[in-house]
Protein backbone atom coordinates (compact mmCIF):
# COMPACT_ATOMS: atom_id res chain seq x y z
CA UNK A 1 0.00 0.00 0.00
CA UNK A 2 1.39 3.37 -1.03
CA UNK A 3 1.83 6.06 1.65
CA UNK A 4 0.83 9.44 0.20
CA UNK A 5 1.26 12.51 2.41
CA UNK A 6 -0.93 15.48 1.55
CA UNK A 7 -0.02 19.11 1.08
CA UNK A 8 -3.00 21.46 0.73
CA UNK A 9 -2.24 24.89 -0.69
CA UNK A 10 -3.89 28.25 -0.02
CA UNK A 11 -2.05 31.38 -1.22
CA UNK A 12 1.11 29.34 -1.75
CA UNK A 13 1.19 28.11 1.87
CA UNK A 14 0.78 24.64 3.32
CA UNK A 15 -2.52 24.51 5.25
CA UNK A 16 -5.07 22.03 6.63
CA UNK A 17 -8.82 22.42 6.83
CA UNK A 18 -11.34 20.47 8.91
CA UNK A 19 -14.14 18.81 6.89
CA UNK A 20 -13.16 21.03 3.96
CA UNK A 21 -14.30 24.20 5.75
CA UNK A 22 -12.15 27.13 4.61
CA UNK A 23 -13.00 28.92 7.88
CA UNK A 24 -10.97 26.30 9.80
CA UNK A 25 -7.74 27.02 7.89
CA UNK A 26 -4.57 26.39 9.86
CA UNK A 27 -1.21 27.30 8.29
CA UNK A 28 1.50 24.70 8.92
CA UNK A 29 4.25 26.08 6.73
CA UNK A 30 5.03 29.05 4.50
CA UNK A 31 7.08 26.70 2.30
CA UNK A 32 5.35 23.64 0.80
CA UNK A 33 8.68 22.79 -0.90
CA UNK A 34 10.44 22.38 2.45
CA UNK A 35 7.65 20.12 3.69
CA UNK A 36 7.87 18.06 0.48
CA UNK A 37 11.65 17.72 0.88
CA UNK A 38 11.13 16.48 4.45
CA UNK A 39 8.75 13.81 3.16
CA UNK A 40 11.22 12.76 0.48
CA UNK A 41 14.02 12.63 3.06
CA UNK A 42 11.97 10.06 4.99
CA UNK A 43 11.87 7.67 2.06
CA UNK A 44 8.42 8.70 0.84
CA UNK A 45 7.93 8.59 -2.93
CA UNK A 46 4.44 10.05 -3.42
CA UNK A 47 2.65 13.31 -2.73
CA UNK A 48 -1.01 14.37 -2.89
CA UNK A 49 -1.00 18.09 -3.71
CA UNK A 50 -4.30 19.96 -3.52
CA UNK A 51 -4.86 23.45 -4.90
CA UNK A 52 -7.57 24.71 -2.51
CA UNK A 53 -7.56 28.14 -4.17
CA UNK A 54 -8.13 26.33 -7.47
CA UNK A 55 -11.02 24.31 -6.02
CA UNK A 56 -12.68 27.57 -4.99
CA UNK A 57 -11.86 29.46 -8.19
CA UNK A 58 -12.84 26.51 -10.44
CA UNK A 59 -9.54 26.65 -12.35
CA UNK A 60 -5.90 25.86 -11.62
CA UNK A 61 -4.22 28.52 -9.43
CA UNK A 62 -1.18 27.19 -7.52
CA UNK A 63 0.63 25.49 -10.40
CA UNK A 64 3.87 27.33 -9.51
CA UNK A 65 4.00 25.37 -6.23
CA UNK A 66 3.52 22.16 -8.22
CA UNK A 67 6.30 23.22 -10.60
CA UNK A 68 8.65 24.01 -7.72
CA UNK A 69 8.10 20.71 -5.87
CA UNK A 70 8.24 18.57 -9.02
CA UNK A 71 11.47 20.22 -10.22
CA UNK A 72 13.25 20.16 -6.84
CA UNK A 73 12.21 16.70 -5.57
CA UNK A 74 11.68 13.28 -7.14
CA UNK A 75 8.25 12.87 -5.55
CA UNK A 76 5.54 11.44 -7.81
CA UNK A 77 2.79 14.01 -7.45
CA UNK A 78 -0.93 13.62 -7.94
CA UNK A 79 -2.51 17.04 -8.26
CA UNK A 80 -6.09 18.17 -7.82
CA UNK A 81 -8.27 21.16 -7.10
CA UNK A 82 -10.29 23.11 -9.64
CA UNK A 83 -9.18 21.26 -12.77
CA UNK A 84 -12.00 21.97 -15.21
CA UNK A 85 -10.62 22.46 -18.70
CA UNK A 86 -8.17 20.86 -21.12
CA UNK A 87 -5.96 23.92 -20.55
CA UNK A 88 -5.97 23.33 -16.76
CA UNK A 89 -4.88 19.76 -17.36
CA UNK A 90 -2.18 20.80 -19.81
CA UNK A 91 -0.78 23.23 -17.20
CA UNK A 92 -0.88 20.59 -14.44
CA UNK A 93 0.99 17.96 -16.46
CA UNK A 94 3.39 20.56 -17.85
CA UNK A 95 4.12 21.71 -14.29
CA UNK A 96 5.17 18.19 -13.30
CA UNK A 97 2.07 16.30 -12.10
CA UNK A 98 2.33 12.53 -12.64
CA UNK A 99 -1.42 12.09 -12.08
CA UNK A 100 -4.37 14.44 -11.70
CA UNK A 101 -7.56 14.03 -9.72
CA UNK A 102 -10.91 15.08 -11.17
CA UNK A 103 -13.95 15.15 -8.91
CA UNK A 104 -16.48 17.87 -9.69
CA UNK A 105 -15.75 17.67 -13.41
CA UNK A 106 -16.50 13.92 -13.43
CA UNK A 107 -19.98 14.76 -12.10
CA UNK A 108 -20.74 17.98 -13.98
CA UNK A 109 -18.93 17.47 -17.28
CA UNK A 110 -18.41 13.72 -17.83
CA UNK A 111 -17.75 14.31 -21.54
CA UNK A 112 -14.60 16.33 -20.81
CA UNK A 113 -13.48 13.96 -18.04
CA UNK A 114 -13.88 10.93 -20.30
CA UNK A 115 -11.91 12.80 -22.96
CA UNK A 116 -9.03 13.14 -20.47
CA UNK A 117 -9.22 9.42 -19.74
CA UNK A 118 -8.92 8.51 -23.40
CA UNK A 119 -6.22 11.13 -24.13
CA UNK A 120 -3.93 10.55 -21.11
CA UNK A 121 -4.85 6.99 -20.12
CA UNK A 122 -6.28 5.49 -16.92
CA UNK A 123 -2.86 5.45 -15.20
CA UNK A 124 -2.76 9.28 -15.16
CA UNK A 125 -6.36 10.17 -14.29
CA UNK A 126 -7.74 9.61 -10.78
CA UNK A 127 -11.45 9.76 -10.06
CA UNK A 128 -12.24 11.87 -7.00
CA UNK A 129 -15.32 10.38 -5.32
CA UNK A 130 -15.57 12.25 -2.03
CA UNK A 131 -18.41 11.08 0.16
CA UNK A 132 -20.80 13.23 2.15
CA UNK A 133 -23.40 10.91 3.74
CA UNK A 134 -23.02 8.53 0.79
CA UNK A 135 -23.41 11.21 -1.91
CA UNK A 136 -20.55 12.55 -4.05
CA UNK A 137 -19.50 16.01 -2.88
CA UNK A 138 -18.27 18.59 -5.40
CA UNK A 139 -17.09 22.20 -5.76
CA UNK A 140 -14.42 22.02 -3.07
CA UNK A 141 -16.95 20.11 -0.90
CA UNK A 142 -19.25 23.11 -0.84
CA UNK A 143 -21.95 21.31 -2.84
CA UNK A 144 -23.51 17.85 -2.60
CA UNK A 145 -24.38 16.16 -5.89
CA UNK A 146 -27.22 13.69 -6.44
CA UNK A 147 -24.73 10.91 -7.27
CA UNK A 148 -24.43 7.96 -4.88
CA UNK A 149 -20.75 7.18 -4.31
CA UNK A 150 -20.62 3.46 -5.18
CA UNK A 151 -22.80 3.54 -8.35
CA UNK A 152 -20.78 6.62 -9.44
CA UNK A 153 -17.49 4.73 -9.08
CA UNK A 154 -18.92 1.63 -10.81
CA UNK A 155 -20.13 3.69 -13.78
CA UNK A 156 -16.63 5.12 -14.28
CA UNK A 157 -15.07 1.70 -13.75
CA UNK A 158 -16.95 0.62 -16.89
CA UNK A 159 -15.28 3.57 -18.65
CA UNK A 160 -11.81 2.23 -17.69
CA UNK A 161 -11.08 4.28 -14.55
CA UNK A 162 -8.54 2.50 -12.32
CA UNK A 163 -7.58 4.91 -9.55
CA UNK A 164 -10.17 6.33 -7.14
CA UNK A 165 -9.60 8.65 -4.18
CA UNK A 166 -12.44 8.54 -1.68
CA UNK A 167 -12.50 10.95 1.24
CA UNK A 168 -15.23 10.57 3.83
CA UNK A 169 -15.80 14.27 4.48
CA UNK A 170 -17.28 13.67 7.94
CA UNK A 171 -13.89 12.19 8.92
CA UNK A 172 -11.60 14.69 7.21
CA UNK A 173 -9.27 16.48 9.62
CA UNK A 174 -11.06 14.97 12.62
CA UNK A 175 -8.26 12.52 13.57
CA UNK A 176 -10.90 9.97 14.59
CA UNK A 177 -9.95 7.13 12.25
CA UNK A 178 -10.77 6.34 8.60
CA UNK A 179 -14.03 5.00 7.09
CA UNK A 180 -12.96 1.36 6.99
CA UNK A 181 -16.51 0.05 6.40
CA UNK A 182 -17.09 2.41 3.47
CA UNK A 183 -13.79 1.35 1.87
CA UNK A 184 -14.55 -2.35 2.39
CA UNK A 185 -17.90 -1.83 0.66
CA UNK A 186 -16.36 0.07 -2.27
CA UNK A 187 -13.65 -2.56 -2.79
CA UNK A 188 -16.09 -5.49 -2.65
CA UNK A 189 -18.75 -3.86 -4.86
CA UNK A 190 -16.29 -2.45 -7.39
CA UNK A 191 -14.53 -5.72 -8.14
CA UNK A 192 -15.05 -6.82 -11.72
CA UNK A 193 -16.71 -10.24 -11.56
CA UNK A 194 -15.34 -11.35 -14.94
CA UNK A 195 -11.64 -10.83 -14.13
CA UNK A 196 -11.62 -10.30 -10.36
CA UNK A 197 -9.99 -6.89 -10.83
CA UNK A 198 -10.87 -4.21 -8.29
CA UNK A 199 -10.37 -0.49 -8.61
CA UNK A 200 -7.21 0.92 -7.00
CA UNK A 201 -8.77 2.64 -4.01
CA UNK A 202 -6.87 5.40 -2.22
CA UNK A 203 -8.27 6.02 1.26
CA UNK A 204 -8.34 9.56 2.58
CA UNK A 205 -9.65 11.35 5.64
CA UNK A 206 -9.52 10.66 9.36
CA UNK A 207 -6.19 8.80 9.55
CA UNK A 208 -4.99 9.33 13.12
CA UNK A 209 -2.55 6.57 14.14
CA UNK A 210 0.03 4.31 12.53
CA UNK A 211 -2.03 1.27 13.67
CA UNK A 212 -4.77 2.17 11.16
CA UNK A 213 -2.47 1.67 8.18
CA UNK A 214 -2.20 -2.16 8.33
CA UNK A 215 -6.03 -2.31 8.59
CA UNK A 216 -6.42 -0.31 5.36
CA UNK A 217 -3.75 -2.44 3.71
CA UNK A 218 -5.53 -5.63 4.84
CA UNK A 219 -8.89 -4.62 3.33
CA UNK A 220 -7.22 -3.92 -0.02
CA UNK A 221 -6.62 -0.15 -0.25
CA UNK A 222 -3.97 0.59 -2.90
CA UNK A 223 -2.88 3.79 -1.18
CA UNK A 224 -3.61 6.01 1.79
CA UNK A 225 -3.46 9.79 1.97
CA UNK A 226 -2.29 11.17 5.32
CA UNK A 227 -2.58 14.85 6.19
CA UNK A 228 -3.30 16.30 9.59
CA UNK A 229 -1.97 13.26 11.50
CA UNK A 230 1.52 14.08 10.18
CA UNK A 231 1.26 17.82 10.83
CA UNK A 232 -0.10 17.30 14.35
CA UNK A 233 2.60 14.68 15.02
CA UNK A 234 0.12 11.86 15.63
CA UNK A 235 2.08 9.87 13.05
CA UNK A 236 5.80 10.60 12.80
CA UNK A 237 7.84 10.49 9.61
CA UNK A 238 10.05 7.91 11.35
CA UNK A 239 7.01 5.62 11.77
CA UNK A 240 6.10 6.11 8.11
CA UNK A 241 9.68 5.41 7.07
CA UNK A 242 9.47 2.05 8.89
CA UNK A 243 6.08 1.27 7.34
CA UNK A 244 7.31 2.12 3.84
Structure confidence at residue 141 as a pLDDT band (50, 70, 90): confident
Per-residue pLDDT, 81: 94
Q: Which of 78, 88, 130, 172 is catalytic?
A: 130
Radius of gyration of the chain (CA): 16
Q: Where are the beta strands (DSSP E) in the chain?
A: 2-10, 13-18, 21-29, 46-51, 76-80, 99-102, 125-128, 131-132, 135-138, 143-148, 163-167, 200-204, 223-226
> Between residues 134 and 70, which one has the greater pLDDT?
70
Per-residue pLDDT, 139: 76
Question: How many domains does the chain divide into?
Answer: 1
Structure confidence at residue 195 as a pLDDT band (50, 70, 90): low
Per-residue pLDDT, 147: 95
Q: What mean pLDDT comes out for the span 189-204?
A: 83
Output the CA torsion sign for 215, 216, 222, 225. negative
Task: Please check the confidence at residue 243 and state whether its pLDDT lies above 70.
Answer: yes
Query: Is 8 assigned a catalytic role?
Result: yes
Query: Is 78 assigned a catalytic role?
Result: no
CA distances from 217 to 20, 45, 101, 121, 187 (A): 25, 17, 22, 26, 12
Burial class (CB in 10 A: 0-12, 13-18, 19+), 33: middle
Query: The domain containing residue 135 runs over which residues?
Result: 2-243
Per-residue pLDDT, 194: 62
Structure confidence at residue 128 as a pLDDT band (50, 70, 90): very high
Q: What is the mean pLDDT of the chain?
A: 94
**pLDDT tens, residue by residue, 229-238:** 999 999 999 9
**pLDDT tens, residue by residue, 100-117:** 999 999 999 999 999 999
Q: What mean pLDDT comes out for the span 69-94?
A: 97
Residue 233: CATH number of its domain: 3.20.20.70
Task: Please check the confidence at residue 17 and state whether its pLDDT lies above 70.
Answer: yes
CA within 13 Å, CB half, 139: 5
Per-residue pLDDT, 126: 98
Task: Please check the confidence at residue 143 and state whether its pLDDT lies above 90.
Answer: no
**pLDDT tens, residue by residue, 156-193:** 999 999 999 999 988 888 889 999 999 999 999 998 76
Q: What mean pLDDT comes out for the span 80-101?
A: 97
Amino acid sequence: MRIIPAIDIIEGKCVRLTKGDYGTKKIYSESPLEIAKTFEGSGIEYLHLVDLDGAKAQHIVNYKVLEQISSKTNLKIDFGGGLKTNEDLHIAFNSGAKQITGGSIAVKDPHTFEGWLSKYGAAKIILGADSDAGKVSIGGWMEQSKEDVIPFIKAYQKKSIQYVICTDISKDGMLEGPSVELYKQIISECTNSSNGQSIKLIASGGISTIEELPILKEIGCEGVIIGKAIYENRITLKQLEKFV
